[in-house]
A and B are shown apart, each in its own frame.
Chain A
Amino acid sequence: MIAANKPNKIARYGMSIDLDRCTGCGACMVACAVENNVPPAHEGATARKGITWIRVFKVDNGEEGPARRSVFVPVLCQQCGEDTPCVHVCPQQAVEVDPATGIVGQMPERCLGCRYCMAACPYHARFFNWWDPQWPAGMEKTLNPDVAPRMRGVVEKCNFCHGRWHAAKERAAAAGKSEIEAGAYVPACVESCPTGAIRFGDLKDAASEPAVAAKDAHSFRLLEKLGTEPKIYYHSKRDWVRQVAAAPKPPNGKENARG
């Protein structure tokens, strides 16, 4: 092994999301779509066919009337750090974990579109391009040059704004530094959150906000018991909100009609 091939510093980027601050405004979803050149929804798209690398779910405590309480839960790729379910199922190595950053990357240009990874993901954080990407005439001028648009028939997902990581890396290199400084690289959703509910940083850096949040007693991760070591930490002081991390409860006979 040649030393030069080794990353200078091995980072484990992660996120903390304060559910007590999320207003469900959707700014993260929109900023994400703008940053990553996700096309406007096709008219035939539904909540289950669209591409939302980050999606905010409205979750309630299951009560009726005045006792009802809701919380907004942004769900994105949880960047599983252990036994990453989507990585080893891909038949052609289109999904990989970057050893330098711990980010689970999806290479749409190598994707066959078999959707096995989507079946493997417990968080439904992977999206298939059911349609050819299309922008209204002229709007392609507003595309982000750092991210290539994807073709129909491939899977894509959150990669913590890989284009931004590259740009940060280049800026750091231009400044003569070997590492990206804390705060010099944040994904678009983090930057756009008006309430600052989403925080981003290197979990290996004990001073970073996600690392601090990870140790908080009120922090939790979704489906932690699966043992996939997701790197997105959620935080809420409300007890019932922390229950969203658990497995689904059997149905109580009613369906949420809005979904």
Chain B
Amino acid sequence: MQRTRRDILLFMGGGAAGAMLTPAPWRLVTDAAIWSENWPGIPRPARGEITARYTNCALCPAGCAVRARCVAGQPVSLAGVAGNPLSQGALCAFGLTGHQLPYHPQRLKQGTPEEAAAAVRGAMAKCGAGESVAVLDLAPGRAASWTYRRAMAAVANGVYLAPPPPLGGAAVNLAKARTVLSLGAPLLDGWGTPGNVHAARANFRLIQAEPWESRTAALADEWLPIRPGSEAALALALKDPKTAPSAAQATGLTEKQILDLANELTANGPALVLSADDLPEALALNHALGAWGQTLVARPEVPVPDAWKKAAPERVVASVPDNSIRVLFIDESVPGSHIPWGAIEKKLVRDNPVVVAFAWTLEGYGRHAQFTLPTAVYPELTSDIPPAIDSPAATFRISVSLVAPPAGMADPSAFIAKAAGIDAGNALQERADAIHKSGRGTLFTYADGKSTPLKDIKPDAFWKSLNEGATWLGGAEEPLTRRRGDAEEIPGELPSEAPRLRVSASDTFPLLVAFTTPTPATLSSPLMSKLYQDSDLRMAPNTAALHPDTARASGITGASRAVLETQYGRCAIGVIPDESVPPGMLEVAAGPEILDICGAFTRAKVVAA
């Protein structure tokens, strides 16, 4: 049979028509829909074995226990560890995003360690009498802190500087408190260990005396809206009812309110008074209320190896003479308290001081230092975390490296030890051994949620456990109780880097600054900036809210840019008028620029940009 082109075409046409009657072409269209679902450029999450790894959060002194869900070893989400005696399974919003910090776009990746070392050597050689080499440790109490102290002891003119300890170094035992008076302390908003605070919350009555309705005030059993800057007057009047009339005038409360409050604090004890800044008046009131030994305790020291005892004493920045520091190391690899740069700067010698900052981002002191050496960041770094303020017991826990840090990261303690000519050794393990040697306390391991007496654990197993997620709890064998009326035991005038509350209202700086962000972390995960942008739950960093009348008085209308000015300097901020902020106050979300010029309760003024 002769086949013509027409036959072939007919065959093809018929075949196509027949195919339309089968599900195949339709199936193809349906599948095309599935292909189009994978838009190019959308990352595909990596797959791998899913495991749980444990660590402790190093983003704030609370050091909450963390369970990391890992895919092929890479943490993809963090959660608390249920049953942890202190953090109680809770993590804050910042902690929940900790695993993203290593990938922060503003992460510092390169430094010049050799040049820095050479500059430090030169400056140390030049260091004359009356000048000093100093280490500023923002998170004192770590094994690394002891290395710094040892290093500074080994150096002539070595000084070890740290922020002043909150509450004069005392620990808070919230579990015992029945009434808590908070003078502006963000008790429910990042103070202490969130899990511990929330667990204890049901057992105490919370009275918040604060000028504006902060988160804590909103959740408190009672909120006393007082005038900005009148916390000290209130504390004084509560201790000494004779001053109640003047306190009533200062705070805007009635005398009766003050006296009732005083009665309640004594009647419904044990009481605890906390303040945003460490007000001496608040400490004195605690003392008067008999809080010592009850709600405020002196925590036993975490053991250290005997060989470490030859260490430089801990000093505050204010105690160093101005223009005396020739070489300054600043360790901000682990976030801690913040000291405005202005306060540090004036301590540096005038001619070519060498400042070496160890940081994972340039958002902190690195902006002012000659050398900023990049460090590992949580959860890359390995560091112990000092006991939290609300832990009456001594604790030891390690923030374990879950992710390998990138190459070229500096180790601050090795660097400083080398500069001082000492051997840093493996400080962390040495300290763990010293703790084990003390034989005290129990070890809480995260993976199984068990508590084991330390004496039942071998040293190697102890070290291994600490590295797999565990907390050593020292127990409270020797609680230092202080008797009522024992004046010598009250921490005296606390040295503070921040300008004090009692800086009276002045025409130059009419506004009182209050921070809203719980942790003055220099940078948080990009997801947190999402939280700032996507909701009005928190203000974005470097933003301030103020009463519209205050804004108007400063020549600001509507949401706009402005300049914040304090005695330390000025910086640009965003301003949001908000009627819920009382006049005379500035509610500030901290950011690096603001932290440079503000401590808590700084007086400031705002000028239209």
Contact = CB atoms under 8 A, between A and B. Distances in A.
A23 B39 contact: no
Nearest to B190: A25
B579 interface: yes
A132 to B, nearest CB: 6
Interface stretch (B8-16, B75-83, B149-157, B334-342): B75-83
B71 interface: yes
A25 B189 contact: yes
Given A143-B45, A257-B576, A34 B533 contact: no
Contacts of A138: 102-103
A144 B76 contact: yes
B218 A145 contact: no
B104 interface: yes
A259 B539 CA distance: 11
A246 B189 CA distance: 29
A237 to B, nearest CB: 12
Contact of A27 (B93, B105, B215, B525): B93
Interface in A110-136: 110, 132-133, 135-136
Contacts of B45: 37, 140, 143-149
B433 interface: no
B91 interface: yes
B530 A40 contact: yes
A36 to B, nearest CB: 10
Contacts of A65: 225, 582
B77 A72 contact: no
Contact of A45 (B33, B198, B213, B534): B534
A215 interface: no
A135 B104 CA distance: 10
Contact of B43 (A23, A140, A188, A257): A140
Interface residues of B, number: 69
Contacts of A106: none
Contact of A33 (B195, B219, B527): B527
Interface string B292-314: 00000000000000000000000
Interface string A161-179: 0000000000000000000
Interface stretch (A1-9, A55-63, A95-103): A55-63
A52 B535 contact: yes
Given A56-B535, A139-B103, A140-B45, A30 B527 contact: yes
10 contacts: A25-B189, A30-B531, A55-B537, A56-B535, A60-B580, A139-B526, A141-B103, A145-B50, A148-B44, A195-B198
A47 B578 contact: no
Interface residues of A, number: 67
Contact of A192 (B43, B91, B188, B529): B91
B39 A70 contact: no
Contacts of A152: 39
Interface in B493-552: 525-531, 533-538, 545, 548
B93 A70 contact: no
Q: Which 4 A-B pairs have the closest CB atoms?
A: A50-B534, A194-B90, A40-B526, A109-B37
A23 B545 contact: no
A252 interface: no
A142 B99 contact: yes
A33 B529 CA distance: 12
Given A33-B530, A133-B42, A139-B100, A27 B92 contact: yes
B34 interface: yes
Contacts of B535: 26, 29, 47, 50, 52, 55-57
Contact of A41 (B39, B77, B102, B530): B530
Given A31-B96, A194-B91, A51 B534 contact: yes
Contact of B194 (A25, A69, A136): A25
B530 A194 contact: no
B382 interface: no
Contacts of B223: 66, 69
Interface of B: 33-34, 37, 39, 41-48, 50, 71, 74-80, 90-93, 96-97, 99-100, 102-105, 188-190, 194-195, 198, 201, 213, 215, 218-219, 223, 225, 525-531, 533-538, 545, 548, 558-559, 576-580, 582
B104 A55 contact: no
A88 to B, nearest CB: 21
Nearest to A135: B43
B536 A70 contact: no
Given A25-B93, A135-B43, A136-B103, A110 B580 contact: no
Contacts of B96: 27, 30-31, 34, 192
A64 B47 CA distance: 53
A191 interface: yes
A258 interface: yes
B254 to A, nearest CB: 12
Given A30-B96, A57-B535, A149-B42, 11 more contacts: A25-B194, A29-B534, A31-B96, A37-B45, A47-B534, A50-B535, A72-B537, A142-B74, A145-B50, A152-B39, A195-B90
A210 B83 CA distance: 23
Contacts of B33: 110
A71 interface: yes
B113 to A, nearest CB: 23
Nearest to A35: B77
A258 B525 CA distance: 23
Contact of A194 (B100, B195, B536, B579): B195
Given A29-B535, A40-B527, A51-B534, A66 B198 contact: no
A71 B525 CA distance: 26
Contacts of A33: 527, 530
A37 B50 CA distance: 17
Contacts of A249: none
Given A29-B535, A136-B104, A138-B102, A50 B219 contact: no
A142 B103 contact: yes
Contacts of A69: 213, 218, 223
A52 B97 CA distance: 15
Given A41-B529, A66-B225, A142-B75, A257 B92 contact: no
Contacts of A52: 534-535
Contacts of A259: 536
Nearest to B532: A41
A168 to B, nearest CB: 13
A145 B76 contact: yes
Interface centre among A57, A64, A140, A194 (most CB of B within 10 A): A194
A145 B46 contact: yes
A81 to B, nearest CB: 27
B533 A141 contact: no
B89 to A, nearest CB: 8
B533 A46 contact: yes
B528 A23 contact: no
A133 B38 CA distance: 13
B43 A144 contact: no
Nearest to B36: A109
